[in-house]
């Protein structure tokens, strides 16, 4: 596998992940699942960041980050507070408690989306691929990016 193949695999996996996310009860939003998940990941890695700092790290426009933050706050995934040094800025961090919506998203199975992507209903094949993905997830955590470039804040999106 080369870098291009790895990149394309990552993109395919992101799309399968998007398909697996539950959308019941969600109204229309101006933000994609992908951008919301990238912002949520950044908030987890950099708690207490401002919207502008998140925008700089993800490469998203500040308005898009603000929309993602609003959506995550509505879902109970994050909390915001005014920056005591500059009341115009919001500081963002993960919510101390897991909301029902966040718990539902985190517990959503991937089997149906994985079966559709693989083009099979064979439980053994789906299970083998899911096990391989779980092994990768255990080894390639967000901290892997920090190990690749120690001391560099880098983009997460």
pLDDT reading at 155 higher than 50? no
Rounded distance between C-alpha atoms, residue 116 and residue 17, angstroms: 12
pLDDT reading at 47 higher than 70? yes
109's tokens: 């199975």
Q: Which residues contact 22 (CB under 8 A, 6 or more apart)?
A: 104, 105, 108
Residue whose tokens read 């426009």 = 61
The string over 65-99, giving b where at least 16 C-beta atoms fall within 10 Å of a residue's C-beta and e elsewhere, is bbbbbebbeebebbebeeeeeeeebbbbeebeeee
Is 2.20.25.90 the CATH number for 30-98? no
CB atoms within 10 A of CB 105: 19
Q: Where are the domains of the chain?
A: 30-98, 109-148
Query: What pLDDT, in 10s, does the model give residues 69-108?
Result: 998 998 888 999 999 998 888 899 999 988 887 788 788 8
The model's pTM? 0.67
């Amino acid at each position: 596998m080369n870098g291009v193949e790895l990149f394309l695999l990552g993109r395919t996996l992101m799309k399968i992940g998007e398909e697996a996310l539950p959308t019941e009860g969600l109204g229309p939003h101006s933000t994609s699942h992908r951008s919301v998940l990238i912002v949520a990941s950044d908030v987890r890695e950099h708690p207490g960041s401002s919207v502008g700092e998140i925008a700089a790290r993800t490469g998203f426009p500040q308005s898009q980050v603000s929309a993602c933050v609003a959506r995550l706050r509505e879902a109970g995934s994050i909390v915001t507070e005014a920056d005591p040094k500059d009341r115009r800025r919001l500081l963002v961090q993960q919510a101390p408690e897991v909301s029902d919506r966040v718990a539902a998203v985190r517990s959503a199975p991937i089997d149906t989306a994985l079966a559709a992507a693989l083009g099979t209903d064979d439980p053994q094949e789906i299970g083998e691929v899911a096990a391989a993905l779980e092994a990768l997830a255990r080894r390639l955590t967000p901290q892997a990016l920090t190990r690749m470039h120690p001391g560099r804040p880098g983009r997460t999106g």
